[in-house]
Amino acid sequence: MRAGARAVKWLPAAMGIDPASVRCDRFYQALARHDVPLITHAGLERAVDADVQEYGNPLRLRRPLEHGVRVVVAHCASMGQDRDLDRGPEGPATDSFELFARMMDEPRWQGRLFGDISAMTQLNRAGPALARVIERDDWHARLLNGSDYPLPGVMPLYSVDYLVEQGFVARAAASVLKDIRSHNPLLFDFVVKRALRWKGKRFADSVFQTRAFFEAKAVRK
């Protein structure tokens, strides 16, 4: 961290890390002390092998939040289901995104809990969760754009036509977006997110202005 780290990224379900474990407390204390954010996958993990899917439960991230860590939930936990631990250890299976949304609406996590919108335009994620994060403009100051590169270059994972069919992208923009993707997948990821619309709303400019979030505390102040 003293060498200039801007963030730490976790895949709890794949790495065998329980974010709610007391064993993580000293690490959380260090993150909070150095103001280094934790970017952590939540919800169903499919990009890599995952042995302990329950470690991806968004509700398990309350522990780092309680230690003062700025937590960025990758993909806004927009895929899969987890147990609703607020209703006990055997709580009902609930959409992971709904658990993330519950936490976003808890006032105590203002300024600490954030969502990353990378991969949310993928075929397997571009649905109700994507609509919600666009519509919830009160969340936009706490959303961060990420690319999930190189996945935007994996052709079967993204479909401009599907985004058009679902009403997220204007049909007139489809051909241009496809040309951009063939030219530069990373640029495509940025442009398609800027083109998204839902119920007359779009992502605020601030979602794409992420530099200040990752700057050191002294610089951000």
* Backbone φ and ψ of 198, nearest 5°: -150, 120
Q: Which of 176, 68, 178, 79 is nearest to 120 (CA)?
A: 79
Residue 174 lies in a domain: no
Q: Which residues 6+ apart lie within 8 Å of 95 measured at CB? A: 80, 81
Residue 190 lies in a domain: no
Residue 163 lies in a domain: no
Amino acid letter, residue 73: V
> pLDDT at position 49, please?
67
Residue 42 lies in a domain: yes
Amino acid letter, residue 38: L
**Angle CA 113–81–169, to nearest 5:** 70
Residue 96 lies in a domain: yes
> pLDDT at position 45, please?
82
Residue 205 lies in a domain: yes
Q: CB pairs under 8 A, 24+ apart, for 204-208?
A: 204/137, 204/140, 204/141, 206/140, 206/141, 207/117, 207/140, 207/143, 207/144, 207/145, 208/145
Residues 22, 111: Cα–Cα separation, whole Å: 23
Residues 70, 68: Cα–Cα separation, whole Å: 7
Q: Sheet harboring 71-74: ordered strands across?
A: 8-10, 38-41, 71-74, 113-116, 143-144
Dmax (CA) of the chain: 53
CB 55 within 8 A of CB 18: yes
Q: How many domains does the chain have?
A: 1
**Angle CA 152–154–158, to nearest 5:** 60
Tens place of pLDDT per residue across the chain (221 aa): 667 789 999 999 999 999 999 999 999 999 999 999 999 999 988 777 677 889 999 999 999 999 999 999 999 999 999 999 999 999 999 999 999 999 999 999 999 999 999 999 999 999 999 999 999 999 999 999 999 988 888 888 999 999 999 999 999 999 999 999 999 999 999 999 999 999 999 999 999 999 999 986 655 55
Residue 58 lies in a domain: yes
For residue 63, what are the domain limits?
8-146+201-220
